[in-house]
Structure 1
């Protein structure tokens, strides 16, 4: 929904910079309305206190034009009264319209996708073969410098842990010798606390 046209109404005037007493005192309103009734006896007034504006609706467009020509920038209780033709904004339609169905197929329950919609293919994974090759060359106890040190930043070095306590079930690529392996530490189960019979309130 967008604004299409902005038209000036030939039958309505808007009086701005109206004095504050015009909205509170009936005698001030009577004097103000008398200025415009001389041009059109059937003229109607709408007072907008918050905006300090008065909308003046005429039955004849010529009467509205003559009133603006004669009363524009005249003195009204020590203030300069300015008269403008009211503007009417024409929007797309008299009622609100639903939004365009661009992405309504994502709403649950899903509706039919729009015409021409296709599923985007997943991107192919990126494999850094240089990094995989460098990791494959690492052995126990070796180190690999990922980032060289600069005057303002430290270096980043990866140290590979020693494989002294490897699992005996896994493959062993080291030399097959008769050296005994150190015993693996035994995990001792934590003892359950003693049961306390009652809870005191």
Structure 2
């Protein structure tokens, strides 16, 4: 929407009235209107109390000009009255155009993808087949070193866990087939004992 330069309305005056009686007392309004009816009997008035302004519409442009020439900066009930020609605003376009979509990318989520945007494809998962092959060849108790230790970093070693059935639950026959190595005992989880009930303790 483009707003052009404002132009004066030659048929309309705006009176700046500081006397509040013009907006509240009918006698003051009648005296105020009589000043302008002497120039144009068909003059019309619109009162704007909040702005302390009165819009005065004339049927003749010459009558409006003469009224402003004679009554501007005159005294009305002890207060100075000022008169101005009303301003008319001319809009370039009869319709209100939407704003340019310069900052629509700030909307989250965006209303539509920008021009040239394409859906990105998910990357393929990285699978270390050498590591999988080395682990598959390991037996129980074996280890595979991924990275050798340096003076500043430790080594990374993969240990193969033993099966649950081989720790503490193996039969004598199965133990005879395995190496004579001591097997660690599986720790037993001890349940916490509930305190004894005492009648003197208040719940």
| TM band (smaller chain) | 0.5 to 0.7
Residue 41 of structure 1 is matched in structure 2 by 41
The separation in 1 between residues aligned to 2:23 and 2:46, in whole angstroms, is 10
Contact 1:13 1:86 in 2 (8 A): yes
* Deviation of 1:97 (Å): 3.5
Partner of 2:96: 96
Q: Matches of residues 1-201 of structure 1 in structure 2 within 5 Å?
A: 1-100=1-100, 107=111, 118=116, 140=150, 142=152, 160=153, 162-163=154-155, 166-168=157-159
Q: 1:68 to 1:118 in 2, by over 3 A?
A: same
Change (3 A) 1:52 1:168: same
Answer whether contact 1:5 1:91 (CA < 8 A) is retained: no
| Alignment root-mean-square deviation, CA | 4.0
Query: Which has more radius of gyration?
Result: 2
Give the CA deviation at 1:81: 0.3
Structure 1: distance between partners of 2:13 and 2:187: 93
For residue 107 of structure 1, give the secondary structure of its aligned residue in structure 2: coil
Unpaired runs of 5+ in structure 2?
105-109, 121-147, 161-182, 192-203
Give the TM-score normalised by the residue count of structure 2: 0.55
CA contact (8 A) 2:23 2:47 kept: yes
Deviations 1:64-122 (A, max 9, x none): 00000000000011111000000011112344334457788x635x8xx8xxx6559x9
TM-score by length of 1: 0.56
Deviation at 1:27, TM superposition (A): 0.6
Alignment coverage as a number of residue pairs: 141
Does the Cα contact within 8 Å between 1:18 and 1:54 map onto a contact in 2?
no
